[in-house]
Amino acid sequence: MTRLSKSFFVTQREAPAEAVAISHKLLLRGGFIRPLGGTAGLYTYGPLMWRVLTKIERIVREELDKIDAQEMLLPQLHPAEIWQESGRWSVYLAEGLMFTLKDSAAEGAREFGLGPTHEEAVCDFVRGNLTTYRQLPFTLYQIQTKFRNERRPRFGLMRGREFIMKDAYSFHATDESLKKTYGAMYQVYSNIFSRSGLNFRPVEADSGAIGGSGSHEFMALAEIGEDTILYCDAINYAANLEKARSLPPQAVPVAHPGPLAKVATPGLKTVQEQARLLDIDVTQIVKNILYVALKAGTEFPVLVSIRGDRQVNETKLKNFLDALDVRLATDAQVLDFTGVTPGFLGPDAPFTLKTAQHITDPSAAALPYFSTGCNEQGYHWINARWGTEPGTLPLGAVVDVDTAQAGDRCHLKPDAVLESARGIELGHIFQLGTKYSRPMGVTFADEAGAAQPVIMGCYGIGVSRLPAALIEQSHDADGMIWPLAIAPYQVHLVLTNIKDHAQLQVADKLYQKLQDAGIEVLLDDRDERAGVKFKDADLIGLPYRLTLGRDLKEGIVEVRERKTGTTEKVAVEQVIEHFTRLVQTGHST
Ligand code: ATP
Ligand code: MG
């Protein structure tokens, strides 16, 4: 194993100011990672980090091998052509997410990209080798460095420009076969994250324009998480905010609706002002918001009518439209597309473009009477209704584009209320269908001999993000607290005085014997004060500290559990047995 006196081991008292996340701070202070050339999102994994990553990889391999997934390795340097075949080259370039390079020596300066994900590469591998349905199903996986030019690399290992991912791809002749593997993978992911000591939750995830129920994310619950999870424990529903459904709180009913009327609302800017001025509740208002969608290279306006107190979920909107992007229209665009002053749009906005679309969220569609814009500056309707006859307003396509939030009612169990939590995405499993196999011509001959596009699933885990998520959940004021399964070492053997010959001898013997018993031990035999060693031990957070101190004269050593801080006196001759038991069961008795 490792003697610190012979190791490159450097810790720091303070983390640099730019580190915000606790995991980032502690990993830097413990010397686990170091930014390459000071660049954000680019880290060297030091020896301690590498041991953690190796252990995570081992767990990943063990669990995947159980379901007969086969490990392999695809290139990281991808010719542009395979990404052009799937149609994603231009998408990734437009988003700036892929690092690209040119081989200027090649004729026509051939272009390449550094792999951010490997659907194209694995499809290219499989299409050369797949002929018949008899070869299906199978699952391939790799553990490898990915490259993504993230807009905001941050929080250390959490969002890097270069990071380690496990990505798996499954291939099927039928949807049932895909669903079966997907279900097995769901279990594999749960096993991997449980074994790694994480507090996690699988949630329904946005599966982009492909839609369907075919996607789950596994979220580590932590305040620093960039995702919001909404859940209802009454019925075990949990979903990413991007995808979550809910029933908004009931609208306040309009007590005595009068006839439709146009009322003066000069200078109104917000629905709150509208509610105050008209002495109504915000839930009695329909607001009309103009978006500009980008699809197939063209832009078109989309008007969304939604209840006054609700917010539009742009991911849902984008998916429904199957658009590349949707953006809130600027004031100039509102004028340009409708001729109406922003703030006064009605559900029947007079569009100048035929391609315009009108979507009404169920929250607004459910209102019997409401106040809304009437396409005239300085005026709003009151007592408006949906309908087709004169004096009513057109409903448009009723589509859920509402942002669910904590406090909403559960759509599956309306008497229960949704709660929210923050999560770090550890992994994502996805039923792809034929999204890649079709354009890339990955086919097989079915039983009748007809060529069919193969049905695919894909499954990712952020291997290098996982330990950062773990630390976010498992630390204290003194440092990290590693669980046995992925700790860099299991035992931190501390020699308090290297000048004490007897101590040195016992340390050497225990160091050897522990290793012989299969226990991973880090020996702190540096010429440092005991206090310094204890501080470092707490910082790097190995599960158990074994201290040789004054009691050694009586043949006694101290064993301290990092997580609880509890200590036990153990006789020297009992140490190996003691740790064998601890490492096997997590209990000393
Ligand atoms: P995110 O929403 O966090 O950007 P993603 O949806 O783009 O992630 P996937 O393409 O599903 O991520 O990648 C699979 C896994 O790889 C993710 O679940 C996550 O754990 C990890 N991952 C993704 N991007 C990064 C990154 N920049 N740095 C570290 N890990 C990452
Ligand atoms: Mg994802």
Q: What confidence tens digit (pLDDT) does each residue in 56-112 have?
A: 999 999 999 999 999 999 999 999 999 999 999 998 998 899 999 998 776 778 999
State if residue 160 touches ligand 1 by the CB under 6 angstroms criterion: yes
Closest CA to 384 of 265, 262, 281: 262
Closest CA to 57 of 145, 183, 155: 145
Mutate to test the pocket of ligand 1, among 43, 45, 169, 428 (most ligand atoms within 8 A of CB): 428
Give the list of residues 6+ apart from residue 370 with CB closer than 8 angstroms, or none: 254, 284, 285, 286, 364, 384, 385
Whether residue 119 is predicted with pLDDT greater than 90 in this model: the reply is: yes
Closest CA to 586 of 558, 556, 566: 566
Closest CA to 225 of 464, 21, 459, 461: 21
In a 3-state reduction of DSSP, which class is residue 345? coil
Alpha-carbon distance of 163 to 179, in angstroms, equals 29
State if residue 117 touches ligand 1 by the CB under 6 angstroms criterion: yes
Pair 214, 207: CB distance under 8 Å: yes
State if residue 465 touches ligand 1 by the CB under 6 angstroms criterion: yes
pLDDT single digits (tens) 287-311? 999 999 999 889 999 999 999 999 9
- Residue 141 sits at the vertex; the CA angle it makes with 139 and 144, to the nearest 5 degrees, is 170
pLDDT single digits (tens) 455-505? 999 999 999 999 999 999 999 999 999 999 999 999 999 999 999 999 999
Token digits of residue 305: 């009518």
What's the pLDDT score for residue 254? 85
How many Cα atoms within 13 Å fall on the side-chain side of residue 523? 22
Alpha-carbon distance of 160 to 467, in angstroms, equals 13
The DSSP bridge pattern shows strands 77-79 and 70-71 to be unpaired
**What does the mean pLDDT of the chain come to?**
95
State if residue 541 touches ligand 1 by the CB under 6 angstroms criterion: no
State if residue 462 touches ligand 1 by the CB under 6 angstroms criterion: yes
What's the pLDDT score for residue 297? 83
Pair 192, 220: CB distance under 8 Å: no
Whether residue 213 is predicted with pLDDT greater than 80 in this model: the reply is: no
Alpha-carbon distance of 185 to 496, in angstroms, equals 47
Neighbours of ion ligand 2 (CB under 5 A): 428
CA 462 to centroid of ligand 1, rounded, Å = 6
- Give the closest residue (by CA) to ligand 1 atom 2: 425
Whether residue 589 is predicted with pLDDT greater than 80 in this model: the reply is: no
Alpha-carbon distance of 356 to 365, in angstroms, equals 19
Whether residue 410 is predicted with pLDDT greater than 90 in this model: the reply is: yes
What's the pLDDT score for residue 212? 54
State if residue 119 touches ligand 1 by the CB under 6 angstroms criterion: no
Pair 476, 191: CB distance under 8 Å: no
Terminal C-alpha separation, the chain: 26
What's the pLDDT score for residue 38? 87
What's the pLDDT score for residue 207? 81
- Say how many C-beta atoms besides its own lie within 10 A of residue 352's C-beta: 11
What's the pLDDT score for residue 103? 86
Over pLDDT 70: what percentage of the chain?
Answer: 99
Pair 292, 301: CB distance under 8 Å: yes
State if residue 146 touches ligand 1 by the CB under 6 angstroms criterion: no
Domains of the chain: 22-76+115-245+421-470 (3.30.930.10), 261-398 (3.90.960.10), 487-585 (3.40.50.800)
Residue 522 backbone class (left: φ over 0; alpha: ψ -120 to 50; beta: rest): beta
Alpha-carbon distance of 582 to 589, in angstroms, equals 8
Residue ranges in 296-455 assigned as alpha helix (H): 314-321, 331-338, 362-365, 437-440
Alpha-carbon distance of 13 to 129, in angstroms, equals 55
- In sign, the C-alpha dihedral spanning 328, 331, 333, 336 is positive
Q: How confident is the model at residue 444 (pLDDT cuts 50, 70, 90)?
A: very high
What is the secondary structure of 526-575 as a DSSP string?
-SS-HHHHHHHHHHHT-SEEEEE-GGGGGTEEEEEETTT--EEEEEGGGH
Alpha-carbon distance of 337 to 353, in angstroms, equals 7
Q: How confident is the model at residue 433 (pLDDT cuts 50, 70, 90)?
A: very high
Element (H, E) at 287: strand 286-295
Q: What share of the chain is helix, strand, coil (3-state, %, to 5)?
A: 30, 30, 40
Whether residue 256 is predicted with pLDDT greater than 90 in this model: the reply is: no
Amino acid at 439: P
